[in-house]
């Protein structure tokens, strides 16, 4: 009886402190598989509780003396089965773990602290595969980043696209999705020429709230941001590789590296707590419903199919060579040669090149506007 009364008073005190009388959400941590041993994971859980006392943390792994509620197992396969069971039953709201086989269509959204100004930034995405097609994957990564950002309290996250192969096409697709009615807030690069395509400087500055990239690049970025001060063997900064997000996926599973140290583990648990209280699954359901209403899959399909059908088998002969000092930017590097061929076919001499901010098409100064009209009419993005 006394224990029950004490627990009730504790819950009331916690609710008054947090401002919410909703049931406290449990977040879990699996404790098998770290390169630094089980003690580092337990240290991370203790640190999380010390830094964020409102969190209720449970462990999945070996018996321990931490005082945390523990679902005991010494087998990694059983550990993941317990994790899935507890998530599906609602007994835990999220779980931080070091490995999980997400299905195709789901990728994880990382959260880092940028070195320039100590600003938090979402990296979308860091593990998993949103789609086997690069452009489609990066578009879906952008949506996953927006969902994660909203779940941690950023109501109108600003989105930037890292300057990688496919970035310009991703920009075009996202802007078309926005034109159809789905709200995306684009940021501007801090470099003098601006634009939604982000440079390396923007990574360090944390220019966007959500930095869109492919998963492999995002994975490397996470390792650089988290362990550049430690030489790579022990991740000391950031919130880990984040939750797996994808249409129809409802398990809040967050990934950390086997090299993650106690500070990252603690922050990853906080990230899990944040998205749980931010009702990430409800946000995801709402966002995907809005995207379905604007026909986002059709927009993606139209733009990705173009890359596979635009090149023609017949050889196109170049027009007479001209002095080309006029620059047209914005064409994706994967479409650059197709764009040059399209101009040749329309009797405009052009060459491909690489400018300071990415791929460019070179034409005569007096042909710039005509060239842009041709390229835009054929579906090439230009700036």
C-beta of residue 361 within 8 angstroms of C-beta of residue 336: yes
- The more confident residue out of 268 and 14 is 268
CATH fold match for the domains 22-309 and 311-377: no
Question: What's the whole-number average pLDDT of the chain?
Answer: 89
CA distance linking residue 125 with residue 210, whole number of Å: 10
- Token couple for 264: 């990252």
Q: Could you count the other beta carbons within 10 Å of the beta carbon of residue 133?
A: 17
Confidence of residue 285 (pLDDT cuts 50, 70, 90): very high
> Which residues, in sequence order, are CB contacts of 76 under 8 Å at separation 6+?
32, 33
Domain residue ranges in the chain = 22-309, 311-377
Q: Which of 183-187, 325-329, 339-343, 352-356 has the highest mean pLDDT?
A: 183-187
- Residue 219 belongs to what H/E stretch? helix 215-227
Using one digit for the tens of pLDDT, what is the confidence trace for 97-125?
998 889 889 999 999 999 878 899 999 99
> pTM of the full predicted structure?
0.81
- Token couple for 15: 């609710």
- Which entry of 1, 5, 317, 356 is annotated as an active-site residue? 356
Q: Which fold has domain 22-309?
A: Isopropylmalate Dehydrogenase (3.40.718)
Average pLDDT estimate for 195-217: 94
Q: Which fold has domain 311-377?
A: Alpha-Beta Plaits (3.30.70)
Average pLDDT estimate for 82-95: 96
| 95 annotated active-site | no
């Amino acid at each position: 009886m006394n224990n029950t009364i004490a627990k009730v008073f504790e819950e009331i005190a916690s609710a008054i402190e947090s401002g919410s009388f909703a049931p406290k959400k449990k977040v879990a941590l699996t404790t098998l598989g770290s390169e630094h041993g089980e003690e580092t994971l337990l240290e991370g859980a203790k640190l999380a509780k010390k830094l964020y006392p409102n969190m209720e943390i449970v462990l999945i792994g070996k018996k321990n003396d931490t005082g945390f509620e523990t679902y005991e197992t010494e087998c990694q396969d059983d550990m993941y089965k317990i994790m899935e069971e507890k998530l599906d039953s609602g007994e835990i709201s999220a779980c931080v773990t070091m490995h999980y086989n997400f299905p195709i269509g789901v990728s994880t959204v990382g959260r880092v602290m940028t070195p320039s100004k100590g600003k938090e930034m979402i990296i979308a995405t860091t593990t998993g595969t949103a789609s086997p097609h690069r452009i489609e994957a990066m578009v879906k990564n952008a949506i996953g980043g927006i969902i994660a950002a909203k779940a941690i309290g950023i109501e109108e996250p600003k989105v930037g696209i890292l300057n990688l192969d496919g970035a310009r096409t991703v920009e075009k697709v996202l802007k078309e999705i926005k034109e159809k009615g789905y709200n995306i807030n684009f940021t501007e690069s801090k470099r003098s020429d601006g634009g939604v395509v982000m440079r390396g400087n923007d990574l360090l500055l944390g220019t966007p709230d959500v930095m869109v990239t492919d998963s492999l690049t995002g994975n490397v970025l996470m390792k650089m941001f988290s362990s550049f001060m430690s030489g790579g063997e022990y991740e000391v900064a950031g919130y880990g590789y984040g939750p797996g997000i994808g249409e129809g996926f409802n398990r809040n599973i967050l990934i950390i590296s086997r090299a993650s140290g106690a500070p990252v583990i603690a922050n990853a648990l906080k990230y899990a707590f944040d998205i749980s209280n931010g009702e990430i699954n409800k946000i995801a359901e709402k966002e995907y419903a809005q995207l379905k209403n604007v026909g986002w899959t059709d927009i993606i399909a139209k733009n990705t199919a173009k890359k596979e059908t635009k090149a023609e088998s017949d050889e196109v002969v170049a027009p007479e060579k001209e002095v080309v000092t006029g620059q047209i930017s914005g064409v994706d590097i994967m479409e650059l040669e197709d764009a040059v061929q399209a101009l040749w076919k329309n009797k405009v001499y052009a060459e491909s090149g690489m400018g300071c901010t990415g791929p460019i098409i070179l034409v005569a100064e007096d042909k710039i506007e005509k060239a842009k009209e041709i390229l835009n009419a054929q579906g090439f993005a230009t700036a």
